[in-house]
Structure 1
């Protein structure tokens, strides 16, 4: 009762999405795509193909009267928009033509598929080769001995710590101020582990280097500017870094 059926014209939603971003001559450029999807188009298509092959939930179906359902592009786009921007489940309904409950289900299935497909290779503890590569890259960015940038998107730290702690070695280690062993000295103090750039929601840990709130003086202002610039650069350009290299 009180449930209103809406004819969303799903096929038009898919056609619009395809024309705008995935056709041979899309409306929006690769730059627009990377800014709005937080990754390259080629990477998106590889992930979309992988999760569709792994879970037929994302495969487009046709019902008994010949009406086509949601495409994998629509479901994956809705899931990624929620992950990337922390939006509500119905935020892309008017464009992608996908209901709130289906978006949430797509998000759950997408995350599960990503863990199952890529977990063994990418969701693991860093090894010596990984650490060496990260240190080399981040030194070029102006932060020697930095391992990367931590960003929980729009989730609070407590959710990362309690919700993902059992699955993520990274958050489990960081919660206990543990990290890959890296030795360096700053202002006469010797440190024995690498660090991550983080924003203000994170607690005080030796593994987190946060920006300076309301910095005073040229040095502090420069550090705050550099920390925030590099952190944003890492977040925007190194998401799915290993996947994008292949």
Structure 2
């Protein structure tokens, strides 16, 4: 560097460092934080709950609940003074930046216009928000059912005409894609997911690689007890399509419906199997 500077005149060296100097932008963080609060989070906000739901892709109550969980997990979201004693961004500003990027698919730089948060801070907000949400909620929303969950699922299935466990999984092979297998319940709880199987595959190929039955095979599945037609059962079952293998834990559709009982069974099974489609439909809308 010294050798390069010796070749330049003092004026050119000063011009070089002036070009490299970062321009300071006065963002009025406290004023912006107050405006964000009045717009959406005050007792009588300027924008209605319906507009909040549309712009944040969630209800305000859910936003606040996630915000509390995120700030408890990561103190970086808590507002602190900077080196000059000025207060930094509020947790609402940081999380709003992350949510806007996720909800609208915008670049981090666009958050600077309304939230007045730099691109670097917006990116860090997104990364820390992502890590915090996984750490705080993975045990609740991405976990295998325990005994209490199984009891609830059994009650739910009984109310809908099916004793015991229920779920469904399927894959599409119309074009090259990344297969996702999922099991969901009526309340949109996706308690099993399996990503992988690149390329064209059918349900049988996916089942051969999926870990969905690992706990059953390894004997680590929580106890399951229910009754069907007077017989006590201790193995959960899944509702599946006709292409799946004839395993004891898979209840397939009836290919040729004849009797009234068969028609009733097929009608109820198709209704319950739509839980997964409904869960992903809600995710897509949100």
The TM-score range, normalised by the shorter chain, is 0.5 to 0.7
User: Which residue in the other structure is 1:16 paired with?
Assistant: 35
Structure 1 residues 53 and 145, CA, compared in 2 at 3 Å: closer, same or farther? closer
The yes-or-no answer on 1:47 pairing with 2:95 is no
Instruction: Pick the structure with greater CA Rg.
Output: 2
User: Which residue in the other structure is 1:28 paired with?
Assistant: 47
CA-atom RMSD in angstroms: 4.0
Aligned partner of residue 195 in structure 2, secondary structure? helix
Please state how far the C-alpha of 1:25 moved relative to its aligned partner: 0.6
TM-score (norm 2): 0.52
Identify the match of residue 182 of structure 1 among 226, 232, 238: 238
Identify the match of residue 170 of structure 1 among 150, 173, 193: 193
Structure 1 residues not aligned, in runs of 5+: 149-156, 161-167, 195-228, 240-246
How many residues align? The count is 183
Alignment of 1:21-100 (within 5 A): 21-100=40-119
Matched-pair contact (CA < 8 Å) for 1:61–1:69: yes
Please state how far the C-alpha of 1:230 moved relative to its aligned partner: 5.6
The yes-or-no answer on 1:5 pairing with 2:61 is no
Structure 1 residues 184 and 49, CA, compared in 2 at 3 Å: closer, same or farther? closer
Matched-pair contact (CA < 8 Å) for 2:168–2:239: no
User: Which residue in the other structure is 2:265 paired with?
Assistant: none
Per-residue CA distance 1:33-91 (angstroms, 9 max, x = gap): 11111111011001111111111100001234331110000000111111222211112
Structure 2 residues not aligned, in runs of 5+: 1-19, 171-176, 181-190, 199-204, 213-236, 252-276
TM-score (norm 1): 0.60
How far apart, CA to CA, are the structure 1 residues paired with 2:109 and 2:35? 18
